[in-house]
Structure 1
Amino acid sequence: MKTEQLAVFNEAMERIGVASREEVHRKGHWHETFHCWIAYREGETIRLLFQMRSPNVKDFKGLLDITAAGHLLAEETVLDGVREVEEELGLPITMEDIVQVATIPCTIEEGTFIDREFVHVFLYGKKVPFEAFHVQVEEVAGLYEADLDHFVSLWNGERGSIHVTGFAVGNGKQRQTTIEVTKGAFVPHPDHYVQTLIDALKKTL
């Protein structure tokens, strides 16, 4: 299997080389990723979709995360990142369907795992029925949506848990469900990333 090669950047977001994905996370090199959030307005409420990471992935197993996301390979541009939406969710969209809302530098450190990303954040601002998704089960265990204001209250520590509604995948089938989750059920993205996302969603939708 060919080793994924990622472009490496300095803190000024200037490209300075190429390294394997393993080396990038072991040494904490800056690299680029593509995040696409699906969110939509329903009356006065904004609904935000999270994917539940598969228990079989390497990092952050079983946690709620960006709707669809992935690394940009060394030979790719930001425009190539849209492939992640169809690969992970089975939703065939193009760059014309989404809007870029931010580019955010982010760092997450978990033990020996150091993730320093320049994150290109995009928004798909339409409601998608759950039955339209066909998730990549090796990566995604389900999809859940939350009221944005409830999520904000949870993230800021103003409430201890919230309910999210969606589906889990098992035996090739979707099982619709509502679950109660705490902040610990989400990938620990930096607060500035979450706040920038929230501001962008409220401004754009």
Structure 2
Amino acid sequence: MDELIDILTSEGQPTGKTALKSEAHKNGWFHATVHIWLFTSDEKILLQKRALTKKVFPGLWDISVAGHIGAGEDVITSAKREVFEEIGLELQERDLIKIGTRIHQVSHANGIQDNEHHHVFIAELKVPLSTLSIQKEEVDDIKLFDLSTLKNTENLENILLPRFHEYYCTVYNKIIKNI
């Protein structure tokens, strides 16, 4: 879905400008996203299988929930909205633990230039997967994996991306400290 987003400086400061997400990706303008990693108390991580219709990383098992922050939307509101839209889970602000913000710059073969500031959160998943409902336009499936999948150096087919291994290990370490 093409949505209106705020354009940021490379340092993550607002420019006062907005643009459609497609324009930001075409022109390489910096913007903000949220990543929410959902874990269980028994050391599992929820991963989503991205819909095959996604423009980047289609069909890949990826972050529990991720999305763009809408124009004028605050980070927490965006995180809660994305979790509810993509998997039907209603979280409260107190459930979200911010573990950092990271700069992500990737040029994709299809011309999309991702220049993003990812606001990264972890949250404990306290309900069974069977109670969740996925947004078919965004998500093909959800599944619990062993938490160690995040730090696994083996090339697991279609699970996460090896080039972001350091990021996944950081998330793993933050989750372990919170279990």
TM-score norm. by structure 2 comes to 0.88
Q: Is the 8 A contact 1:51 1:68 kept in 2?
A: yes
For 1:126-137, list aligned pairs within 5 A: 126-137=125-136
Q: What whole-Å deviation, never above 9, does each CA across 1:16-70 have from its counterpart, x for those lacking one? A: 122221111112111111111110231xxx2111000111223221111111111
Quick one: structure 1 residues 55 and 110, their matched pair in 2 at CA, closer, same or farther if it must change by over 3 Å?
same
Which position in structure 1 is the counterpart of 2:61?
64
Which position in structure 2 is the counterpart of 1:97?
95
Tell me whether 1:51 sits opposite 2:51 in the alignment.
Answer: no
Which position in structure 2 is the counterpart of 1:121?
120
Matched residue SS, 1:41: coil
Q: What whole-Å deviation, never above 9, does each CA across 1:56-115 have from its counterpart, x for those lacking one? A: 223221111111111001111102111111111011222122221211111222121111
Q: Looking at both structures, which has the greater relative contact order when contacts are Cα pairs under 8 Å and sequence separation is at least 6?
A: 2
Tell me whether 1:109 sits opposite 2:107 in the alignment.
Answer: yes
1:94 aligned partner, one-letter code: Q
Where does structure 1 lack aligned partners over 5 or more consecutive residues?
Answer: 162-181
Shift of 1:203: 2.0
Shift of 1:187: 4.8
Aligned residues: 176
Quick one: structure 1 residues 108 and 145, their matched pair in 2 at CA, closer, same or farther if it must change by over 3 Å?
farther
Distance 1:199 1:151 in 2: 10
Q: Is the 8 A contact 1:26 1:114 kept in 2?
A: yes
Which position in structure 2 is the counterpart of 1:34?
34
Structure with greater strand percent:
1
1:5 aligned partner, one-letter code: L
Distance 2:162 2:20 in 1: 24
Question: Alignment RMSD, CA only?
Answer: 2.0
Distance 2:132 2:161 in 1: 22
TM-score norm. by structure 1 comes to 0.78
Shift of 1:188: 6.1
1:59 aligned partner, one-letter code: V
Q: Is the 8 A contact 1:108 1:188 kept in 2?
A: no
Shift of 1:143: 0.6
2:34 aligned partner, one-letter code: F
1:198 aligned partner, one-letter code: Y
Distance 1:113 1:189 in 2: 18
Provide the identity percentage: 30
Distance 1:189 1:204 in 2: 25
Bigger Rg over Cα: 1
